[in-house]
Amino acid sequence: MRRQFKDTVMELSTSNDKLVMILGDVSVYLFKEFQDKYPDRFYNMGICENTLISVGAGLASQGFYPFVHTIAPFLTERSYEQIKLDMCYNQLGGNILTCGASFDYAWDGATHQCYSDLAILRMLPNVEVIQPGSLKELDVLLRSQYDNGKVTYYRLSDKPHTIDMPVEFGKAVVLKDCGGKITIMTAGPILVNVFEACKDLPINLVYFHTIQPIDKETIEHFRNTDILVIHDAFGLFEAICETAGLSVGYYGLPKDRFCDTYGTLEAIREDIGLDVTSIKEMLLNKMVQCL
């Protein structure tokens, strides 16, 4: 997905000379093409996430469109106050793009995991929160949002899904509406497993790439069903819960413990019950309870 990020930025740059890349010593080689073509607007600023955000805000104050990019936990959790104040409170919009969340760097352990980014950023004013699950989603949503003056967060993934669907900012996608009593709502690359788990079940499936603003209209459409949010992060569930009076539950991250294992993304998903088999088993049990 990072390659798509670079490709889209390269294309946008052909018609806009205000894009500035600010990297935290990540994806540097990938952006060599940009660096060679636009050396004045490429900065591998170093491993200093607080300053990356503040500098991005400063650039935005003078009419540039900053693209601040590094690893998710360090840019969002460490630099939350810089995002909150320098960008949001000052109303200096910019694009924040991260990699590694939630468990893309599974082998690196809990220090490199990030599953609260969407949840904490959606609480801020003047912010848009996007979790593109596919290359197409990233491409479409980058093009439509990067220059709108808001703070837009894109959580990139190295493990995108390939399910094609229409993409429009702020609009959820109803992937299956079979009149089922249960509606699954999910977001991002975990769609691969969720889609597979419920493909043969009489269950509705709704997909979100935009967490903030959340598509309340689509949520309303499924008000009379049992909504279950399946997500490998915090944020989507909380956003859906803001629609009052729903019957909504959450299945995903474990509570009150770190996922302190290593290995692969798939292994972590299996460990916390987000592999296809576990999701399907959970759904079959839920269907029995709903009878």
Partner 1 sequence: METYENKKMMQTVFKNIRKDILRISEISGHGHIPTCFSVVETIYAFYEVMKHDSANPSWEERDIFILSKGHASLAQYVVMSKFGYFDLRDVESFGSFKSRFGCHANRLKVRGVEASTGSLGHGIGLAVGVALSFKIKKSDRRVVVVIGDGESNEGSVWEAVMVAVNLKLNNLIIVYDNNMSHQRGLQITNPGDRFKSFGAIVAEVDGHDVAQLKNEYILRHDTVKVIIANTIKGFGCKTMISNQYEWHRRSPNKEEHEILLKELDEAAV
- What are the residues binding partner 1 (CB under 8 A)? 20, 40-41, 43, 45-46, 48, 50-51, 53-64, 66, 81-82, 85-86, 89-91
86: its two tokens: 């320098």
For partner 1, give the closer residue by CB, 18 or 176: 18
For partner 1, give the closer residue by CB, 59 or 229: 59
For partner 1, give the closer residue by CB, 46 or 213: 46
Give Cα 151 to chain centroid, integer Å: 14
**228-230-233 Cα angle (round to 5):** 130
Residue among 23, 19, 52 at smallest CA distance from 38: 19
Closest separation between CB of residue 57 and partner 1, Å? 5
Closest separation between CB of residue 16 and partner 1, Å? 14
For partner 1, give the closer residue by CB, 61 or 148: 61
Closest separation between CB of residue 41 and partner 1, Å? 6
For partner 1, give the closer residue by CB, 51 or 243: 51
Cα(first)–Cα(last) distance of the chain, in Å?
Answer: 41
State the Cα–Cα distance between residues 138 and 130, nearest whole angstrom: 9
155: its two tokens: 């959580």
Residue among 11, 19, 15 at smallest CA distance from 43: 19
For partner 1, give the closer residue by CB, 57 or 259: 57
Closest separation between CB of residue 158 and partner 1, Å? 27
Instruction: Tally the C-alpha atoms within 13 A of residue 123's C-alpha that lie toward its C-beta.
Output: 12
Residue count of the chain: 291
For partner 1, give the closer residue by CB, 64 or 107: 64
Closest separation between CB of residue 83 and partner 1, Å? 11
**275-213-202 Cα angle (round to 5):** 40
Closest separation between CB of residue 69 and partner 1, Å? 15
Bond preceding residue 13 cis, omega within 30 of 0: no
Longest CA–CA span in the chain (Å) reads 63
Closest separation between CB of residue 94 and partner 1, Å? 10
Contacts of 230 (CB under 8 A, 6+ apart): 184, 185, 186, 190, 194, 251, 252, 274, 279
